A and B are shown apart, each in its own frame.
Chain A
Amino acid sequence: MGYFLQQLINGLTLGMIYGLIAIGYTMVYGIIGMINFAHGEIFMISAFISIITFLVLGLLGMGWVPLALVLILVTTMLLTAVYGWALERVAYRPLRGSPRLAALITAIGMSIFLQNYVQLLQGARIKPLQPVISGGFRFLSESDFSVNLSYLQIFIIVLTICLMLGFTALINRTALGRAQRACEQDLGMAALVGIDVDRTISLTFVMGAALASVAGLMFLLNYGVIDFYIGFLAGIKAFTAAVLGGIGSLPGAMLGGLLIGLIEAFWSAYFTVEYKDVAVFSIMILVLIFRPTGLLGKPDIEKV
């Protein structure tokens, strides 16, 4: 029982990180129908921005952890959003209206470019960070095992829930969110009612990058080491989460992320760590065979 609960906690924490990245894939796909393969690299870059900000704050003698975390969160979100914006502006916008394959190849190209860019600037060695948030609660203690809920896990879970609530309200209640949904449903009609479609697409990349950057910071805090390659696997897992949940669906992305985190945690705990990624992808394939639109994906409404 305790062991099960522990895996549940670990899986949820991991799943929230995947879910935050997955939202960027799903929103970009929803609005321009392309898979932004460089999104994993945006996540990786945000982890580097986080670690650099940590070092800078450390040098400045900023020792109080809560304030430091807020500063790092804000800095990382802002700077990563700029990367997301620039990526769309430089690489994707000029190709708008060209065949899908061109956009896809460009996305893969940008992914490789960003990896090399970070490798060149930061080196290929892994970057460690000493634990920032330590300690936690212990409960259900038995002789040889106790369930551990760390402060870091609480931080990740609470922050993700707050972000999701705020983000859902933004999309459902505000004029900006309405414009975003309108573009998703009919780009040409959105322009006809006066929406600046290019600006809305830019904002979609900005929002996706900002959410991924929170995931980057969480990843850094959780694992304590990063390198220029972490975006690849995390990106693929988050993309899988988006597809599993139903690409284009925001709740789907979060649900898919949580499921993948849970599958990974439980598979590693009860079967073998080596095959956890295989398990994740196999389950995605199984789900897609029975529900091709994903768990929460909406079937296409016939355009009248």
Chain B
Amino acid sequence: MLKVSGIHTFYGNIEALRGVDIEVHAGEIVALIGANGAGKSTLLMTICGKPQAAAGQITFDGADISRLPTYQIVRRGIAQAPEGRRIFPYMTVMENLQMGASMTDPVHFEDDVERVFTLYPILKERRHQRGGTLSGGEQQMLAIGRALMSRPRLLLLDEPSLGLAPMLVKQIFRVIKEINEQQDVTVFLVEQNAYHALRLAHRGYVMANGQIVMSGTGQELLANEEIRAAYLEGGH
């Protein structure tokens, strides 16, 4: 479904991605783990064309998307809940969801909103509240809900559990599984919370210094000594 080959991305002179290859198949949950500053967020943003890759190719459903502007990439069925959530702060919860639905046929709107409210009932209570006044957990739910409003086939999630209480982390991961299984959405998940992410994911990649250094099934990576030492020890 998504194939990233030999991607290099720069911020000015800094080379943030140094030849990244990744593949995500339809129906999978794929996790990407790695330390802070490894280039995980840059990879998700590069997939969406902002910044654009300096070299390499990204294909989605076989079509090259690496030269397209962002809005044309996401219109093909990719949605992202980006790092920092980036809720529109002066818009209500409802308007944020409407923004998520910018490119879908309005006839789906009522159903889609209901579906998001079923996943996250708290958003229904807050629907007239401004995004900027929500708590961190609520903003994360809204970011995921907004991404789902575009009826994506591929959902990119950037550290959805960051800064959330353990209870909420569990809930976020449960919903990701639900979205993947019941709504048939493929998920590419970036996480620092390696334990939860690898348990949930079918496959995983490990990134360091702008390169993929390891890959395998979730189980394999969880069992790997190096990964346990680098990303799991102490945490869980």
A and B held together in a complex: yes
A residues with CB within 8 A of B: 175, 178-179, 181-182, 185-186, 188-198, 298, 301, 303-304
**Once the chains bind, are A179 and B88 in contact (CB under 8 Å)?**
no
Give the nearest-CB partner of B104 in chain A: A194
Q: Are A193 and B150 in contact (CB under 8 A)?
A: yes
* Bound: A191/B74 CA distance, A: 8
Determine chain A's interface SS by DSSP, over half rule. helix
Give complex CA distance A304, B163 in Å: 11
Q: Is the pair A175, B102 in contact by a Cβ cutoff of 8 Å?
A: yes
B154 to chain A, nearest CB (A): 13
Closest A-chain residue to B103, C-beta based?
Answer: A194
Interface string of B70-99 (1 = CB under 8 A from A): 110011000110101111111100010011
A186 contacts B48, CB within 8 Å? Answer: no
Given contacts A191-B71, A193-B146, A185 and B90 within 8 Å (CB-CB): yes
Asked if A304 contacts B150 (CB within 8 A), the reply is: no
Distance from B10 Cβ to chain A, minimum over Cβ atoms (Å): 14
Query: Do A194 and B90 have beta carbons less than 8 Å apart?
Result: no
Given A195-B102, A304-B136, A304-B139, residue A185 in contact with residue B80 (CB < 8 A): no
| B87 → A minimal CB distance (Å) | 8
With contacts A192-B70, A193-B99 known, what are 11 further pairs, Cβ within 8 A?
A178-B91, A181-B90, A185-B89, A185-B91, A189-B86, A189-B88, A193-B150, A196-B69, A196-B71, A301-B90, A304-B87
Distance from A297 Cβ to chain B, minimum over Cβ atoms (Å): 13
Q: Does B124 contact A (CB under 8 A)?
A: no
Interface 1/0 per residue, B52-70 and A, CB below 8 Å: 0000000000000000011
A-B CB contact pairs (8 Å), 9 listed: A178-B91, A181-B90, A182-B88, A186-B88, A194-B150, A196-B69, A197-B71, A304-B84, A304-B85
Chain B residues positioned under 8 Å from A193 (CB to CB): 74, 79, 99-100, 102-103, 146, 150
Asked if B132 lies at the interface with its beta carbon under 8 angstroms from chain A, I say yes
Interface membership of B153, Cβ < 8 A: no
Partner pick for B75 among A175, A186, A189, A194, CB 8 A cutoff: A194
Closest to B132 in A: A301
The 5 nearest A-B residue pairs measured at CB: A194-B103, A191-B70, A189-B86, A301-B89, A185-B88
Taking CB atoms and an 8 Å cut-off, the chain B residues in 120-149 that contact chain A are 132, 136, 139, 146
B88 near A181: Cβ-Cβ < 8 Å: yes
Q: Does B228 contact A (CB under 8 A)?
A: no
B50 at interface, CB cutoff 8 A: yes
Q: In the docked arrangement, what's the CA distance between A193 and B103, Å?
A: 8
Q: How far is the CA of A298 from the CA of B90 in the complex (A)?
A: 10
Write out the residue numbers on chain B whose beta carbons fall within 8 Å of the beta carbon of A195.
Answer: 71, 99, 102
What chain B residues lie within 8 Å of A303 (beta carbons)? Answer: 84, 86, 89
CB of A188 within 8 A of CB of B88, answer no
Residue from the set B48, B71, B146 with the largest chain A CB neighbour count within 10 Å: B71
Give, as a whole number of angstroms, the nearest-CB distance from A244 to chain B.
21
Quick one: given A182-B99, A189-B82, are A194 and B91 in contact (CB under 8 Å)? no
Smallest beta-carbon distance A29→chain B, Å: 16
Closest chain B CB from A141 CB (angstroms): 50
- Cα of A304 to Cα of B86 in the assembled complex, Å: 8
Q: Which residues of A contact B69 (CB under 8 A)?
A: 191, 196, 198
With the chains together, A301 CA to B133 CA distance in Å?
10
Q: What is the distance, in angstroms, from B147's C-beta to the closest C-beta of chain A? A: 8
Which residues does chain B contribute within 8 Å of A182, judged by CB atoms? 88, 91, 99
> Which of A190, A198, A301, A304 has a CB less than 8 Å from the CB of B99?
A190
* CA of A192 to CA of B139, assembled, Å: 17
- Cβ contacts under 8 Å, B79 to chain A: 192-193
